[in-house]
Each structure stands twice: as C-alpha cells, then as structure tokens.
Amino acid sequence: MHIELAADLSQAQVMDQLRKLRPGDRVHCFDVHQFKVASSAIAGWRWANILVLLLGRDQQVIEQYKYQVAQAELEAGLRSRHRQDQEQVVQALEKVFSHCKQVGLQVVSFSDGLVVVPEHLASDPMALCSPEALGVNDQEAYTTITEQLED
C-alpha cells in the first residue's frame, strides 16, 4: 500500500496519514516540506521498512528515505529479550526450589551436576551417590564456576 501526501495537507493531517502505515508501505510526497515532515516522523518513531519518496512532476524519484535500525538498537533489543528470558527462567527455578522445600527435597550440587535427595539425607555425602539421589538432566545448561575457570 502507499499513501500520497498532497502539498496542502497540514502537519497534523500528515501525521494522521502516517499513523496508518504498516511495514512495507510507501509514502509518496510531491512537496519537499511534506517529504521532510514524513521522513522526520518515520525516523522519530523508528519505523523500519517504510519507504518515503519525494516524487517530481513526471513521477521520477528525486529523493528517498528509509529508516535503518542501527546495530546498537538491534543488540539492545536482543539484550532485552535475553534479559526477559533470564527473568522467566529465574522465576521458574524459584518455583521449583519452593516446591522442593514444601515436599521435603533438597537440590545438591554433586560432582559436576545436580542431584535431588530427601532433606534428611542431603548432608550425608554417601547418600548423594545412593539410589535415594536422583540426578538432574540439566541439558548442559548447568555449570560450576570451577568448570568455567578450567575452560
């Protein structure tokens, strides 16, 4: 889809038209002022994948503008997503540990992994390798600081 901005539109009318845009849309401007207003709005809103064109009388493109997401913005978005994932994982782990406490189980770091044992056996090193201890499949997501330093 594309919209055409007439030269006689007010800045408020231009903004109203621009708010209707979706990624992949184009804006056709026939006035330098409208082109600058539209480009500035798209840049200010940081709307990527919208092409703003300044067209001449013969429909030739005189100038074009497309907001480009900066690498720093992409990295910040990725960090934000990782942070959200991290917070969700921490909340899930906290729920698991809370449940362990409620049912009388203890999660213990043993060797290079985690085991779950009844609380009354958690302090007995022999119990950690007994049939009472269940190993946790950590999908290689768990590591000790010692392992990190050895790598």
Domain positions in the chain are: 2-66, 104-151
Retrieve residue 120's tokens. Answer: 């009354």
Q: DSSP state, 121?
A: G
Q: How far is CA 125 from the centre of its chain?
A: 43
Question: For residue 30, what pLDDT band results from cuts at 50, 70 and 90?
Answer: very high
Question: For residue 74, what pLDDT band results from cuts at 50, 70 and 90?
Answer: low
Question: For residue 40, what pLDDT band results from cuts at 50, 70 and 90?
Answer: very high
Model-level pTM? 0.48
Identify whether the C-beta of residue 29 lies closer than 8 Å to the C-beta of residue 35. yes
- Say what the pLDDT of residue 144 is: 79
Identify whether the C-beta of residue 41 lies closer than 8 Å to the C-beta of residue 66. no
State mean pLDDT over 25-45: 91
The pLDDT of residue 77 is above 80? no
Compute how many other C-beta atoms are within 10 angstroms of the C-beta atom of residue 85.
10
What's the mean pLDDT when you consider all of the chain?
Answer: 87
- Say what the pLDDT of residue 146 is: 74
Which positions ≥6 away from 65 have C-beta within 8 Å? 35, 38, 39, 42, 43, 51, 52
The pLDDT of residue 106 is above 90? yes
User: Helix, strand or coil for residue 79?
Assistant: helix
Retrieve residue 134's tokens. Answer: 């269940």
User: Strand order in 134-135's β-sheet?
Assistant: 105-110, 113-118, 134-135
- What is the identity of the amino acid at 105? L
